[in-house]
Amino acid sequence: MISIGKFRHLTQCATRDGHFMVLAIDHRANLRDALSAARGVPVDDREVGSSSET
């Protein structure tokens, strides 16, 4: 059993159906390539960092 605090924090990362809505990005180059392809223009590391803050 987990504490009420852990439960509350976990529910903040989940939908009403209990599905977790989290994203872990370990490969900045892959994200940069995907953003560049989607935008049709090159994306630099600064833009990758700003997109991960939202």
DSSP conformation letters of 8-49: HHHHTTB-TTS-B-------HHHHHHHHHHHHTS---HHHHH
Q: Establish if 45 belongs to a structural domain.
A: yes
Parent domain of 48: 22-54
Q: Establish if 4 belongs to a structural domain.
A: no
The predicted pLDDT at position 52 comes to 55
The predicted pLDDT at position 36 comes to 93
Q: Establish if 7 belongs to a structural domain.
A: no
pLDDT of residue 4 exceeding 90, the answer is yes
Number of domains in the chain: 1
Q: Establish if 31 belongs to a structural domain.
A: yes
Q: Establish if 29 belongs to a structural domain.
A: yes
Two tokens, residue 19: 């599905």
Model confidence pLDDT, tens digit, residues 15-54: 999 898 877 667 788 888 998 999 999 998 888 776 655 4
Q: Establish if 46 belongs to a structural domain.
A: yes
Handedness of CA 34, 49, 29, 40 (dihedral sign): positive
Cβ(22)–Cβ(11) below 8 Å: no
Q: Establish if 16 belongs to a structural domain.
A: no
Q: Establish if 12 belongs to a structural domain.
A: no
The predicted pLDDT at position 26 comes to 72
